[in-house]
Chain A
Amino acid sequence: MKQLFSFIKKEFLHVFRDTKTLLLLFGLPVVQLTLFGFALTNEVKNAKIVVADYSKDNTTKQLTDKIEASRYFDVEKSLQSHKEIEAAFKTGKIKLAVIFPENFNHDLMHLNKAQIQIIADASDINTATTLTNYITAIVMDYQRQMMKDASIPMTITPEIRMLYNPELKGEHTFIPGIMAMIMLLVCAMMTSISIVREKELGTMEILLVSPFKPIMVIIAKFIPYLIISFFNVTSILLLSVYALDLPIKGSIFLLYSESLLFIVTALAIGLLISIQAQSQQTAMFGSLMATMLPTLLLSGFIFPVESMPLPLQVISNIVPSKWYFIIVKSIMIKGAGFSAIWKETLILGVMTLFLLIVSLKKFQIRLA
């Protein structure tokens, strides 16, 4: 036992002497949370558009003013020809062009029909569709004002209620995702690198020939990273509650217990990687491939799993972070208790056990 403590002390010294890495490990979740919380939004604002007005009458002026007044658009300038519009698209400066044909007002008043042409730069699809929808809404609104008195028969109106997240904030899904990523980074990647480092430098040989049990060497390696992870979980939760105003609805104790389970999962993955890898670079790329990318892509934290093709949906089931992500989301946002998430917890637990057994079986005292 005393030996174990002195080993843990050695590992702590290793980790805490490297202040640069330590600073980054603590800083990363803060930066990520800030970026996701304040900088990244799928909402489209201040999009630059151009208006080509061939008619220049009262109606087109009013419509242009209405578009300009909306916070979604910055009307850059009025262009005169189609050629100019194409050139403006190619330099990437504008996202959309609104074209009023000649005699717009005349057609509208006398033929009762006039057409507005909208050209969107669909190389960015979401922006293109959103902007087209906004313009359509503005025009519809204008039209409604024009025919205020006419009543429309048999109207069905949808009454929409947004549950759990009425302001439609994005933070709700990314906080659990960031927690999973940071834990994988610290526990799987950093741990495996620090073990492989001893292999690469040759000091592992020394540790393995000592009378100290080899598995204890590994456990001692885990402890500092485990503690750093707990710090990170705490800092993410504090930030989300106090900086992003996102309260934790469920039990904090449950949240920490589930996080501890996931930390063990991450450590098991880290152990497996460090057994396989011979150099730090392989360990790093290995953990990038085995943990970071699946978390980013397949856990549902950025991209919804339901919209993926079926094979990917099936594969996503073997990604541990997907289950952790569901668990944290349920606890934090829906306030779910253990009874609602026992299944996911069981799956995560079985995965962890499996990973631990495989890596302990593969663990060898002798280096190749």
Chain B
Amino acid sequence: MRTLKFLLQKEFLQIFRDKNLLRQILLMPLIQLMIFPWAANYEVKNISLAVVDYDHSSYSQKFISKTISSGYFKLYDYSASFNEAYKLIELDKADIVIEIPAGFEKNLVRENQQKIFLAVNAINGVKAIVGSGYLANIINDYNSEIRLEWIQPQRFNPTPVIEIASSNWFNPLLNYKMFMVPGILAFLVTMIGGIMCALNIVREKEIGTIEQINVTPIKKHLFILGKLLPFWIMGTFVFTLGLLIARFAYGIIPLGSIGVLYAFLAVYLFAVLGMGLLISTYSDTQQQAMSISFFFIMIFNLLSGLYTPIESMPAWAKVITDFNPLRYFIEVMRMVVLKGSGFHDVSHHFLVIFLMALVLNTWAILNYRKTT
């Protein structure tokens, strides 16, 4: 126990002496949490439109102003011809071209049918789908408005109608930040904990100071515990900082119990730090340790469900997500923070992470050699 105390003292001295690094460790999550949720927004807004109005009628005018007032679109310009508008798409000035054919108003009344042409820049698939979806809805609305002007509404529905009442639970205002902030926080804790821990030990290897510890009678597991605990404390600190930012900058208050979150964090950090340790036992230089951690963290990040749903992934990718610790942490964060899930609901996650922590740390201790 006394040995451990001295080891911890040494580690903390080293960490607190490097003010530059300390500042970065604290600043990075702060900046990320302040910027990331604003940028990581799949809500599609400000779609820029080029309008080609061959009709110049009151109907076409009404339609355009209805579109603009919906709030999703902004009018870039009116173009005289489709080719001119197409050029705007090529130059990335416009995302969608709306073409209203000549005789739109007249034909609609006379022939009961008319078309509006939309040309969508589909390089960004999400934007194209959502943008044209909005427009289709607006056209639909506009259509029924016009119909009402011409046809007297009937008091009874002539045909059976199925109504759909949809409600959104857990995030009724559809605030995208509620979804992203807990996930981002989980990712940050993982990145800082894992990389820092891996680099720290390899640094001692590279500079040669690890030899000095290796020749002392300090036991392997004590040395490793001495390396783990400081980063465990820092991880918890960063997490707390993140929860406070979520609370005061975004107004996100966990619905569920904070105790469950911290209990999970405690186990989770051991798993992540264990991974960092394992990486450090396999690398000789910091550059190596960094590229290995970066490699894995990148895979973990992409396959965590942070950006895209896991259900949509192909089977082989789903298998990888089963072994991805970050995935479990993000799920627990979102469940507890947004849905108020309790310990019972996330017990499976606890079990998996506990096993991972056990395996990774045992592996790391076994693989750590005092001699080279």
Contact = CB atoms under 8 A, between A and B. Distances in A.
Interface of A: 18, 20-21, 24-25, 27-28, 31-32, 35-36, 38-48, 89-92, 95, 108-109, 112-129, 132-133, 135-136, 139, 142-143, 146-147, 150, 153-166, 168-170, 172-173, 185, 189-190, 193-194, 197, 200-201, 277-282, 284-286, 288-289, 293, 297-298, 302-304, 306-309, 312, 326, 329-330, 333-334, 336, 340
A127 B308 CA distance: 9
B340 interface: yes
Given A158-B136, A284-B199, A279 B18 contact: yes
Contacts, number: 343
A180 B356 CA distance: 34
Given A39-B313, A120-B168, A281-B199, A168 B206 contact: no
B38 A309 contact: yes
B236 interface: no
Q: Taking each of B45, B169, B292, B335, which has the highest tally of chain A beta carbons within 10 Å of its own beta carbon?
A: B169
B238 to A, nearest CB: 13
Contact of B35 (A20, A153, A201, A297): A297
Given A39-B302, A169-B125, A303-B41, A125 B171 contact: yes
B164 interface: yes
Contacts of A108: 160, 162
A41 B312 contact: yes
Contacts of B317: 35, 38-39
A40 B175 CA distance: 23
Contact of A45 (B31, B161, B312, B334): B312
Interface stretch (B85-93, B260-268, B270-278): B85-93
Interface of B: 18, 20-21, 24-25, 27-28, 31-32, 35-36, 38-48, 89-92, 108-109, 112-129, 132-133, 135-136, 139, 142-143, 146-147, 150-151, 156-172, 174-176, 178-179, 195-196, 199, 203, 206-207, 282-283, 285-288, 290-292, 294-295, 298-299, 302-303, 307-309, 311-314, 316-317, 331, 334-335, 338-342, 345
10 contacts: A28-B294, A31-B298, A36-B302, A123-B170, A162-B120, A282-B21, A284-B199, A285-B25, A297-B36, A307-B43
Given A114-B161, A118-B164, A163-B89, 9 more contacts: A113-B163, A125-B175, A128-B174, A150-B158, A154-B146, A194-B287, A201-B206, A307-B45, A307-B46
Closest 5 interchain pairs by CB?
A122-B168, A39-B317, A162-B122, A123-B338, A168-B125
Contacts of A340: 90-91
B291 A24 contact: yes
Contacts of B311: 44-48, 95
Contacts of B156: 112
A122 B161 contact: no
B36 A125 contact: no
